[in-house]
């Protein structure tokens, strides 16, 4: 039954990626086959703009200035990303050379308008904050940045008004804040309640579910888009499921790898607009983007996924 589903689906798709395959609990299936521009999208509440639900994070793996040979690999990943229909890429000045690498690759691809670039500022002092922001424009080689976020709330009171002014001036499309620390949630929540924000970015995964209770409902109420970071708990989730098979029922919701299991759990929360897994390998890209297709878990399935994950040794 499941094999029939796969072959029917594959017949409907056009191959745009590498001919890699992933092994699930039952059967090896091809990845890298996508219906052109058929990724699931969600709406940014403040404007109605739609973005695909899976993006790319660039922490650590795009800080490659000391390894020039890796730039070619990342260029392939970003080229494939937009070919499939991907858009959102998240970076930051604190990710070493990542902004410069992303800016250089996007410039070489000559596809700036196909990307939604999110970056951050993390400075307490106004002068160094403005300097960091201007450096981001230069490194990313763009006149307009889609989303600017106050990184881990650092310099919030000083830099948020500056980012708002830049939005007014048309240099930034969206304003946001980010965290990946549960201990920061009280201040984060306070900020979401009182500031005018288009986006928040927060950690949420099967291993860290607190944001769904404390932060997502407020974002929904206030009409704020949600980006989810560290969806694999920086890769540690894969160690937890090491050598374990996917449950048979995963195929019912078009899940064919553990990465898709983790991402679809996140995406099936209605508050989530987009998830940004750290992605620097072509095979991982094709795998992760698969979570932006097919069926999403309903609330019963979400409970089942949680129980299954919690029960793993």
- The binding site for ligand NAP (CB under 6 A) comprises 57-59, 61, 90, 151-152, 178-180, 201, 229-235, 238, 259, 276-281, 284, 287-288
For ligand NAP, the closer of residues 173 and 260 by Cβ is 260
Q: Which is nearer to ligand NAP, 8 or 90 (CB)?
A: 90
- Percent helix, strand and coil across the chain, each rounded to 5? 45, 20, 40
Q: Which helix (H) or strand (E) holds 145?
A: strand 145-151
Only one residue has tokens 């970003």, namely 78
What gap in Å lies between CA 42 and CA 124, rounded to an integer? 33
Which pair of tokens denotes residue 15? 């191959």
CA distance 20 to 33: 10
- Least distance to ligand NAP, CB of residue 212, Å: 16
In whole angstroms, the minimum distance from the beta carbon of 12 to ligand NAP comes to: 23
Least distance in Å: CB of 122 to ligand NAP? Answer: 9
| Minimum CB distance to ligand NAP smaller for 123 or for 298 | 123
Select 90 or 198, whichever has its Cβ closest to ligand NAP.
90
Whether residue 89 contacts residue 118, with contact meaning beta carbons closer than 8 Å, is answered with: yes
Q: Which two tokens stand for residue 25?
A: 């609990």
Nearest-approach distance from CB 57 to ligand NAP, in angstroms = 2
Token digits for 129? 């904050």
φ/ψ of 222, rounded to 5, equals: -90, 0
The nearest distance, CB 279 to ligand NAP, in angstroms, is: 5
12/197 with CB nearer ligand NAP:
197
């Amino acid at each position: 039954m499941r094999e029939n589903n796969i072959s029917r689906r594959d017949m409907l798709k056009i191959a745009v990626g590498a001919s890699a395959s992933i092994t699930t609990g039952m059967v090896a299936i091809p990845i890298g086959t996508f219906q052109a521009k058929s990724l699931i999208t969600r709406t940014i509440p403040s404007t109605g703009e739609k973005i695909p639900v899976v993006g790319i994070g660039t922490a650590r793996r795009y800080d490659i200035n000391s390894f020039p040979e890796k730039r070619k690999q990342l260029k392939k990943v970003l080229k494939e990303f937009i070919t499939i229909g991907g858009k959102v890429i998240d970076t930051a000045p604190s990710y070493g050379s990542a902004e410069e690498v992303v800016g250089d690759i996007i410039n070489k691809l000559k596809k700036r308008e196909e990307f939604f670039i999110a970056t951050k500022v993390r400075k307490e002092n106004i002068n160094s904050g403005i300097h960091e922001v201007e450096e981001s424009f230069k490194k990313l080689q763009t006149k307009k940045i889609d989303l600017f976020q106050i990184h881990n709330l650092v310099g919030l009171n000083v830099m948020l008004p500056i980012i708002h002014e830049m939005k007014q001036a048309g240099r930034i499309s969206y304003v946001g804040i980010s965290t990946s620390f549960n201990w920061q949630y009280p201040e984060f929540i306070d900020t979401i309640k009182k500031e005018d924000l288009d986006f928040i970015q927060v950690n949420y995964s099967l291993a860290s579910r607190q944001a769904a209770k404390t932060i997502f409902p407020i974002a929904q109420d206030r009409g704020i888009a949600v980006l989810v970071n560290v969806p694999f708990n920086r890769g540690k989730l894969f160690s937890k499921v090491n050598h374990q098979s996917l449950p048979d029922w995963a195929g019912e919701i078009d899940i064919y790898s553990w990465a898709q299991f983790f991402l679809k759990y996140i995406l099936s929360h209605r508050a989530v607009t987009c998830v940004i897994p750290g992605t620097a390998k072509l095979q991982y890209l094709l795998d992760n983007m698969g979570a932006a297709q097919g069926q999403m878990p309903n609330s019963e399935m979400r409970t089942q996924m949680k129980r299954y994950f919690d029960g793993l040794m």
